[in-house]
Every structure is written in structure tokens, then in C-alpha cells.
Amino acid sequence: MVDILRMLGAKGTGQDISNYHQNEEEPKMDVSNKLQQPTAHGEIKETVISPDAEIKGSIKFKDSLRIDGTFEGEIDSKGTLFIGKGGSTKAEIHVGNIIVEGKSEGNITCEDKVELRATAKIIGDITAARLTIAEGVNIIGKCSVTSEKSSSDIHQGLQDFKKMKEEKPRIEKLGGSSGTTAE
């Protein structure tokens, strides 16, 4: 095998490459902005926008995204978004879950849970099925906590209440056979 490597040479140059892998370091890759795939153990690593990064545009991701830098635009995912203490977004956000420690300007629509930690600053409306707000959070906007199912349940409950309110109460005598209507 070593003879074949000598014949081929280093990257086609004819140089001896039998010790090629021993002498050359593996190239170091900055994975802070690279989408990570699940490992053999099924762990999901997150994509990270580093503190010195400023990005404008539209982002779609599958698993998780951490923003420690600045992002402006639109974010769309069924995954989890994490805005770190130094991170800030000026975006319309549609995600499965979100955790905010930094600043978010724009509306947040979340399929499941919004978690606002003590250092979070929110300017915009929040719509989610679940909402957790730590002491110290600043919010300028409206919060709506409802899922599609609970929203329809609430609507049905209001309809039932209105219907009940419109009906005249019936008064029945104890042991009596017929009821009379109160007027």
C-alpha cells in the first residue's frame, strides 16, 4: 500500500506521501455557523450564529438554532430557537419552541412553548400554546396563550354561556311533576 501511495504522490505531484497523514494536521473547521447533524448516539447539535455575526435575510432550520449575534429578517422552523443574552433579532418568528435571554423585536408565533428568561427584552406580540415568563422580563406587546384546541373550546364555552343566559330559568318544585318558568 505504501508503494502505491509513493507512486501516486502527494495530491498528484509525485512527492512521497507515505507519511502524509502523520505530518499534516487535520484542517480545523469553524462549526459555529454550520448545521450539525445528529451523532451516532442520536444527539442533536445546534446551529449557532456567533456573537460577532450580523445576518439579514430568511432562515429555515430543522432542529435548533442559537443566536448570540444579530439577525434581521424572518425565521421559520418547527424546531427550537434560542436567543442568547448577547443575541438580538429584528424578525417575524414562527417556531416550534423559543427560549429568549436576549432581545427580540417583532412578532413571535410559537406552536408550543415560549420561555422568556430574566434578561429577555421583547418588543412585539407573542402567540403560543404555553408561555413562561421569569421575573425581570421586559415586554412591550400583547401575549396570547392559546392552542387551536383550547381556542375552539373557549369559543364553544362562550357560545354555551350566551345561550344559557338567553334562556329563562326553570323553577321546579321538590317532588313536583311540572316546572314553571320564572318571569
Strands 179-181 and 170-172 come out as antiparallel
Which pLDDT band, with edges at 50, 70 and 90, does 115 fall under?
A: very high
Strands 126-128 and 143-145 come out as parallel
Query: Residue 19 contacts by C-beta under 8 Å, 6 or more apart in sequence?
Result: none
Q: Which residues pair with 15 in a beta bridge?
A: none
- Mean pLDDT over residues 16-38, rounded? 40
C-beta atoms surrounding 152 within 10 Å: 11
pLDDT at 63: 93
pLDDT at 112: 95
Indicate whether 37 pLDDT > 70. no
Tens of pLDDT, residues 145-156? 986 655 455 556
Which pLDDT band, with edges at 50, 70 and 90, does 126 fall under?
A: very high
How far is residue 128's CA from residue 144's CA, in Å, rounded to a whole number? 6
Which pLDDT band, with edges at 50, 70 and 90, does 46 fall under?
A: confident
